Amino acid sequence: MRKILAITVAAVTALTLASGCDSGEPAAENTPSAVPETSSAAPTASAAPSSSAPAPVIPPAPPRKLKVGAEGPDVLALQQRLTELGYWNGKADGKFGGTTQQAVYALQKAAGIGRDGTVGPKTLRALDRGVRPKPRSTTGRTVEIDLKKQLLMLVDNGEISQILNTSTGSNEYYQQKGETYLADTPRGRFTVSRQIDGWRNAPLGLLWRPKYFNGGIAVHGANSVPPYPASHGCARVSIAAMNWLWNSDALPLKTKVWVY
């Protein structure tokens, strides 16, 4: 990936995201050698140095740091590499938007590096190495939610097919109707038991097309999916990712959900 981005930039330069979220009811020198001229009648003299100097060696320009708002063939190459590794980022279009940023977050989480959503040297190395997380399930379709890495993975017979950025329970206390609750996402093995195809105006906020797997806890779309735990217990993904999960029927009812 680093090579692809470096080549692209060099060429351009050359050309100019158990109470849960929903507790209510569903609704990047060559100097010539001096040749002595000797004579029996004259002292030795050195030849004059050449007046031509070697052309300076200009190192290739380093790849630019990619972030939201960037466009061009290097962004397209980034998106294609992310897709190749299984990091869901929609359709590769050469434009670095929020969906690509979510995929970069996921890659950075898997690599254990800073989660800033921009592509610099460390993220490029992770792309070059082909960093991917490791699943735990071995049979059937399973949605795995890794709380430590903050990743949601679709696993088919032990092979990861898609990796998404997620934001789960913040593990902070919050108040609701005079009661105090812990915003955690409980570990365990569950199944998708119900779903709502649309917005759910839950007591703790809006959930887009939620798929519930543990009481009021669901995988759902959200307008804010930071690269750290921030929810009341649900597993947030981006609106675009949630739409894809529904449209591709990747998370139907009865799908296994492992949280660890």
- Return the SS3 of 193: coil
In the prediction, which pLDDT does 13 show? 37
In the prediction, which pLDDT does 20 show? 73
Q: What are the angstrom distances between the C-alpha of 113 and each of 104, 106, 204?
A: 11, 10, 31
In the prediction, which pLDDT does 62 show? 67
In the prediction, which pLDDT does 22 show? 83
| Reported pTM | 0.80
In the prediction, which pLDDT does 52 show? 67
Q: What's the DSSP call for residue 216?
A: T
The whole-angstrom separation of Cα 195 and Cα 218 is 9
The whole-angstrom separation of Cα 31 and Cα 110 is 51
Which of 78, 30, 22 is CA-nearest to residue 55? 30
Please list the ranges in the chain whose pLDDT falls under 70: 1-19, 25-53, 59-62
In the prediction, which pLDDT does 41 show? 45
The whole-angstrom separation of Cα 68 and Cα 75 is 10
